[in-house]
Structure 1
Amino acid sequence: MSGAGPFNPLDMTNLAHSIVTRMIESTPTPLDSVPVFTGAGLYAIYYTGPFPAYELLAEKNRDGAFEEPIYVGKAVPAGGRRGLDVATHSNTRALSSRIRQHAGSVRAATNLDIADFAARWLVVEDIWIALGESALLRRHRPVWNAVVDGFGNHDPGAGRRNGVRSRWDTLHPGRPWAENFPQRPESQADIEQDVVEYLRSRL
């Protein structure tokens, strides 16, 4: 390309692109069938179902297309978030455990069907996990990351429940521990409208 500098495969942008490309080339697996495996890394979850607010998103993913994730995330080995000695890829199941936890959240939701979800993932060396996740977030800005917060939440336990119920648990009720939080001031309908407007602006 005229005027362009020499290609640097180790440039951060190019490294991030290679990570994301490798992941999206993988075959999606039904979320209900994600196996236990070793390793840490990044993942994307896709939706193809009939929930009305997600119709534009689901259209992008049906018939095997899987173009737009509803959520992306990462899983690091134990201790990795604190900079401590971490588990190696040969003995951690951080990535499969995280995806399977998400499957449990979807199963618990009263208005979602896990049969409408699929996942891709990529086991990555620890140093590249955050870079890959950031690239996925910038590229797709998934609705459950950007608008409907709370999908990745865990039960904080008694005595540590502060604030109100998440938008995700308001829109998709069913996780038992979420019922311990006070209701939000906004309704399901309010959140659905935000989702529809967001997807119209993105897709």
Structure 2
Amino acid sequence: MPASPNPSSENFPSPKKPSQKPRKSKAWRIAAEERHSDPYNPLDLENLGRSVEAELLNRKPEPLDEVSPVYGSGIYALYYCGPNPLYAEISSRDCLVPVYVGQARPTGVRKGTAEEKPDATTLWDRIYEHKQSLGQVHDLEISDFSVRYLVAIEAFVSIAERVIIRHYRPVWNSIVDGFGNHDPGANRRKDSYRPAWDELHPGRWWSHPDNMPTPSKTPADVSRSRIRDLFAGRLSEEAVLSIEAEQTEEGKND
């Protein structure tokens, strides 16, 4: 096989020296500063919460009265798709905006003693409690509710709940407090304020005036007005946060 001829400079264009790195003008630096953000950290608490949120929202909604058996703890979102005009703005079979977001964590988690058993049904039990609550009220039907839920590691559940609530501002988390409340017990019912949610949607046996005679500090008409204002965009972020703080404080004083 004949050897390749030696390359000749005549066959190649003259090489060009690469240009130097351009100097950054003042305008360039101003533009870069305007777009500046911290480097993405997948382990940042906010981003971890968003990843759990994304996985939850990827789950297919199930009818609240037909939730499949499941072990473990986790997070869930309730959706309303019924005819009650108060919730017309979010009522949808597509389950786009949750009416309530909650979490189910193992017993003892607040004391640092939580160690969930493999056969624990914490999440399913919590969802079932909501089914019972809605089954007792007079102006809502269980068949008009769906739920997305996700079994998740306990350490990420609270983070994800905060992220989702901040994202959607579910009306029963932000404007009308008390849906997630448990029966305070016979010794406390007489001296406790009725939850604002029970004032708006009466029916739960333990919040009946015979059992819990002191009405909520937030009358039903006030809650209805706030819900309408929220859906109409008439409540600022500051106003929503103020309402949340007000109802949290009321709960502490029960």
Partner of residue 29 from structure 1, selected from 57, 62, 72: 62
1:199 counterpart residue number: 231
| Residue pair 1:36, 1:97 contacting (<8 A) in 2 also | no
Distance (Å, rounded) in 1 between the aligned partners of 2:218 and 2:184: 22
The within-5 A match list for 1:16-165 is 16-58=49-91, 61-62=92-93, 64=94, 66-88=95-117, 90-161=118-189, 162-165=191-194
**How many positions carry a matched residue from both structures?**
198
Partner of residue 172 from structure 1, selected from 169, 179, 201: 201
TM-score by length of 2: 0.73
Residue type of the partner of 1:198? L
Higher relative contact order (CA 8 A, sep 6+): 1
Higher Cα Rg, which structure:
2
Distance (Å, rounded) in 1 between the aligned partners of 2:79 and 2:133: 14
Distance (Å, rounded) in 2 between the aligned partners of 1:192 and 1:4: 40
Distance (Å, rounded) in 1 between the aligned partners of 2:234 and 2:109: 33
Residue type of the partner of 2:83? P
Query: 1:12-51 CA deviation, whole Å, 9 max, x = no partner?
Result: 2221111100000100000011133101011000001111
Distance (Å, rounded) in 2 between the aligned partners of 1:143 and 1:103: 18
2:46 counterpart residue number: 13
> Per the alignment, do residues 115 and 7 of structure 1 end up closer, same or farther by CA in structure 2, a change over 3 Å counting?
same
| CA RMSD of superposed structures (Å) | 2.0
Residue type of the partner of 2:162? S
Percentage identity across paired residues of the two chains: 39
| Residue pair 1:143, 1:199 contacting (<8 A) in 2 also | no
| Residue pair 2:70, 2:121 contacting (<8 A) in 1 also | yes
2:5 counterpart residue number: none
How far is 1:91 from its partner? 2.2
Distance (Å, rounded) in 1 between the aligned partners of 2:103 and 2:42: 23
Distance (Å, rounded) in 2 between the aligned partners of 1:186 and 1:85: 35
SS of corresponding position for 1:10: coil
How far is 1:202 from its partner? 7.8
| Residue pair 2:74, 2:157 contacting (<8 A) in 1 also | yes
Does 190-199 or 147-156 show the bigger shift? 190-199
SS of corresponding position for 1:201: coil
Distance (Å, rounded) in 2 between the aligned partners of 1:85 and 1:185: 35
TM-score by length of 1: 0.90
How far is 1:183 from its partner? 2.4
